[in-house]
Amino acid sequence: MTIPDAPAAPGERLTMDALLDVDDLVVRFATPNGDHTAVRGVSFSVAAGERLGIVGESGSGKSVTAQAVMRLLGPAATVESGAVRFEGRDVLAFPRDELRRWRGAQAAMVFQDPLSSLNPLVRIGRQVTETLREHLGMDRGAAAVRAAELLAEVGIPDAAARLRDYPMTFSGGMRQRVAVAIAVSCSPRLLIADEPTTALDVTVQAQVLDLMDRMTAELGTAVILISHDLGVVSTFCDRVLVMYGGRVVESGTTEEIVGAPRHPYTRALLGSIPAMTGPLPRRLPSIPGSPPQAGARPPGCSFASRCPLAEDVCHEIEPLMKDGVACHVATAAGERP
């Protein structure tokens, strides 16, 4: 699949190939209370070097989508249908060996809590060198030198000495720096960061984002940033997907989504903040009501029961995605709410 590029002069290429292509992804969970569908037909593409933000309230399916792309879903989840293609290759069909080579070397992930990706019982140095040795084939000595360089690059003071320390001796912000260092150590083409700064205080959040910005810009890495923080997404990302009830309800450039949101849900998330002026809220404003449980979604649009603009049709027929928005009553493109 190809994504339309910016208008190009005659003779220039008009499209760029997608690095990652997610097509109609459906993920189901089997639970003691029955099965439910957490991700319902999610499609998107990310081009090389592009930064895509995914926003939405808790439970909208952001993390499950990311985990499905990385093949990190737990045993209760199954990809029921859909495709994940990386440079045209079918990620969902990768055999175990190929998956191991792909993860780390070409696609890496940073989690909200780096303690979930760092092994608390293994010294930091070993965790960084293992990745370098496995994916880049470095010998022990070269990997140790590179590991110290990487930790210094992400701003860990006294990096060479800190290689001998365990994760618990690092602060939350420093651990997240280590996680970013490991994630970018093999120059991945794609980095997925799932709420990478949510657990950190505001100053440290900004430092970690600056770091991710610098490291990925230098490498030309495509980034998928999952965040509750619209301020972060609007400064960091080129395009935004808005998820609700396991679906993408609106997608567009950051300017379109923040400056002229069309779906009533996106508009509610943004509150009454005028287009691209003033700081955006650090947290999504709370919208009256709560999303329906994945196992008990009513017919029609999942947002209808909370939507001030809902009409009869919204409670009966689930709207399809059309021109970047899945809504029966969405504001037309370009028209400001």
Ligand X SMILES: Nc1ncnc2c1ncn2[C@@H]1O[C@H](COP(=O)(O)OP(=O)(O)OP(=O)(O)O)[C@@H](O)[C@H]1O
Range in contact with ligand X (rule: CB under 6 A) among 13-21, 56-64, 125-133, 156-164: 56-64
Is beta strand 51-55 parallel, antiparallel or unpaired with respect to 222-226? parallel
Q: Based on CB atoms, which residue is closest to ligand X, 61 or 196?
A: 61
- By CB under 6 A, is residue 104 in contact with ligand X? no
- By CB under 6 A, is residue 25 in contact with ligand X? no
Among 45, 55, 60, 307, binds ligand X (CB under 6 A): 60
Is beta strand 222-226 parallel, antiparallel or unpaired with respect to 239-244? unpaired
Minimum gap (Å) between residue 59 Cβ and ligand X? 3
Distance between CA atoms of residues 242 and 54, nearest Å: 6
- By CB under 6 A, is residue 74 in contact with ligand X? yes
Among 20, 25, 29, 307, binds ligand X (CB under 6 A): 29
127: which 2 tokens? 């965790």
Interacting residues with ligand X between 293 and 322 (CB under 6 A):
294
Distance between CA atoms of residues 305 and 328, nearest Å: 14
User: Which long-range contacts (C-beta less than 8 Å, at least 24 apart) are formed by 316-323?
Assistant: 321/43, 321/248
Range in contact with ligand X (rule: CB under 6 A) among 18-26, 53-61, 99-107, 117-125: 53-61
Contact indicator for 19, 47 with CB cutoff of 8 Å: yes
Among 41, 53, 61, 261, binds ligand X (CB under 6 A): 61
Minimum gap (Å) between residue 283 Cβ and ligand X? 11
- By CB under 6 A, is residue 119 in contact with ligand X? no
Q: What is the DSSP string of 202-230?
A: HHHHHHHHHHHHHHHHHHT-EEEEE-S-H
- Counted residue by residue, the chain has a size of 337
Q: Based on CB atoms, which residue is closest to ligand X, 74 or 274?
A: 74
Distance between CA atoms of residues 150 and 159, nearest Å: 8
Q: Which residue has the tokens 């496995």?
A: 134
Interacting residues with ligand X between 257 and 296 (CB under 6 A):
294
Minimum gap (Å) between residue 101 Cβ and ligand X? 26
Q: Based on CB atoms, which residue is closest to ligand X, 62 or 263?
A: 62
What one-character DSSP code corresponds to residue 37? E
- By CB under 6 A, is residue 197 in contact with ligand X? no
Q: Based on CB atoms, which residue is closest to ligand X, 170 or 244?
A: 244
Contact indicator for 214, 29 with CB cutoff of 8 Å: no
DSSP-based helix, strand, coil % in the chain, nearest 5: 35, 25, 40
Binding residues for ligand X, total number by CB under 6 A = 15
In this structure, the number of other CB atoms found within 10 A of the CB of residue 23 comes to 15
Minimum gap (Å) between residue 282 Cβ and ligand X? 15
Minimum gap (Å) between residue 10 Cβ and ligand X? 43
324: which 2 tokens? 């970047």
Minimum gap (Å) between residue 229 Cβ and ligand X? 11
Range in contact with ligand X (rule: CB under 6 A) among 59-67, 100-108, 162-170, 212-220: 59-67
What one-character DSSP code corresponds to residue 321? P
3-state secondary structure of 176: helix
Among 20, 64, 108, 143, binds ligand X (CB under 6 A): 64
Among 41, 59, 196, 264, binds ligand X (CB under 6 A): 59
Distances in Å between the alpha carbon of 283 and those of 187, 194, 265, 269? 31, 15, 15, 9
Site residues (vs ligand X, CB under 6 A): 29, 31, 36, 38, 56, 58-64, 74, 76, 294
